[in-house]
């Protein structure tokens, strides 16, 4: 009688940690703890006398694991902080362990270092532009962080312009800073986004889905007519086509494709291709 009660209590409390390997692809909720592969054997039921020795031998040769967005380090385990599906990527080469992360959905963007985002210039004060990126604070962008910019040769940036840049500093303690050049000093496609076009907002998950290497949506969209798209990791997309109508069609497709199945999408594309 005592056993079922204790098991029920445990399952209610949710204190049993699951192995990360078994939960891949499943939905995880915040507060769950996940065990990494090396620890499963050590904490398995019924330890033999040899187990403690093998644990010590392994402790020196532990593999480095990266815990990505949605996960946190909690002692030796991973603690889930966002609800979504658990994903894992095997290491390509070099240091092992791989990457674990939670594939979640949200609309609010939190600046992360290295992300390419679309920002709107809101103010110009001295040598710094204040750029709204959708985060809690406007990011600062120095006028020297453009390709070929010197103290005398200032970039032609006005308030209200769209900027495509990446973050160099982005943490919870400091104001985010962005630049429009890479480490070599080349623009690489970053900088002021040209005139006209349409800027609209989507969820962050859709951006990642569209930028996946094997995304069919982008390939199909590119076949329709000449166009230009810029994706910002902060949920903003800028599109431009030759006529306003084409631009609006494109914006509608991209907004709607989040909730469409692939069949519905193909229907729409075939209809567009005909007209």
Partner 1 sequence: MAAERKTRLSKNLLRMKFMQRGLDSETKKQLEEEEKKIISEEHWYLDLPELKEKESFIIEEQSFLLCEDLLYGRMSFRGFNPEVEHWCIFQKLMLQMNAKHKAEEVEDETVELDVSDEEMARRYETLVGTIGKKFARKRDHANYEEDENGDITPIKAKKMFLKPQD
Q: Which positions touch partner 1 (CB under 8 A)?
A: 36, 62-69, 71-73, 76, 78, 87, 89, 97, 99, 101, 110, 112-116, 124, 156-159, 164, 187-190, 194-195, 208, 211-213, 215, 218-219, 221-223, 225-233, 240-242
Instruction: Answer whether 254's CB lies under 8 Å from 202's CB.
Output: yes
Minimum CB separation of residue 13 from partner 1 in Å reads 24
3-state secondary structure of 58: helix
Nearer to partner 1, 51 or 89 (CB): 89
**Burial level of 102, CB count in 10 A (0-12/13-18/19+)?**
buried
3-state secondary structure of 80: strand
CA quadruple 133, 137, 138, 140: dihedral sign: negative
User: Using alpha carbons only, what angle is made at residue 173 by residues 74 and 171, rounded to the nearest 5 degrees?
Assistant: 70
- Alpha carbon distance 54, 50 (integer Å): 6
Instruction: Answer whether 120's CB lies under 8 Å from 181's CB.
Output: no
Minimum CB separation of residue 68 from partner 1 in Å reads 5
3-state secondary structure of 168: strand
Minimum CB separation of residue 32 from partner 1 in Å reads 16
Minimum CB separation of residue 196 from partner 1 in Å reads 9
Nearest CA-CA partner of 120 in 107, 129, 109: 129
Task: Report the greatest alpha carbon distance in the chain.
Answer: 83
Q: Taking the CB of residue 23, how many other CB atoms lie within 10 A of it?
A: 18
Nearer to partner 1, 231 or 269 (CB): 231
Return the structure tokens found at 165.
């840049």
Nearer to partner 1, 16 or 72 (CB): 72
Nearer to partner 1, 157 or 202 (CB): 157
Nearer to partner 1, 7 or 223 (CB): 223
- Alpha carbon distance 259, 255 (integer Å): 9
Nearer to partner 1, 27 or 123 (CB): 123
Minimum CB separation of residue 2 from partner 1 in Å reads 36
Nearer to partner 1, 6 or 72 (CB): 72
């Amino acid at each position: 009688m005592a056993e079922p009660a204790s098991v029920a209590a445990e399952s209610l409390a949710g204190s049993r940690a699951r192995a990360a390997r078994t939960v891949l692809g499943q939905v995880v909720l915040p507060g769950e703890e996940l065990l990494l592969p090396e620890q499963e054997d050590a904490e398995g039921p019924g330890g033999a006398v040899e187990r403690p020795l093998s644990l010590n031998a392994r402790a020196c040769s532990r593999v480095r694991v990266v815990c990505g967005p949605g996960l946190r380090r909690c002692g030796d385990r991973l603690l889930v902080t966002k609800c979504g599906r658990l994903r894992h990527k095997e290491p390509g080469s070099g240091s092992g362990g791989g990457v674990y992360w939670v594939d979640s959905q949200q609309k609010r963007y939190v600046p992360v270092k290295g992300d390419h985002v679309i920002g709107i210039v809101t103010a110009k004060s001295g040598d710094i532009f204040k750029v709204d990126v959708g985060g809690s604070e406007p990011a600062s962008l120095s006028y020297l962080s453009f390709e070929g910019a010197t103290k005398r040769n200032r970039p032609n940036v006005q308030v209200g312009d769209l900027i495509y840049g990446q973050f160099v500093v982005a943490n919870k303690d400091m104001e985010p800073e962005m630049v429009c050049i890479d480490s070599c000093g080349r623009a690489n496609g970053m900088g002021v986004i040209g005139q006209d076009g349409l800027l609209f907002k989507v969820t962050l998950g859709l951006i990642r889905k569209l930028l996946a290497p094997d995304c069919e949506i982008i390939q199909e969209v590119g076949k329709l007519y000449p166009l230009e798209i810029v994706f910002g990791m902060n949920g903003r997309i800028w599109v431009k086509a030759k006529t306003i109508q084409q631009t609006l069609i494109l914006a509608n497709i991209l907004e709607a494709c989040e909730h469409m199945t692939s069949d519905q999408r193909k229907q729409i594309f075939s209809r567009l291709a005909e007209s």
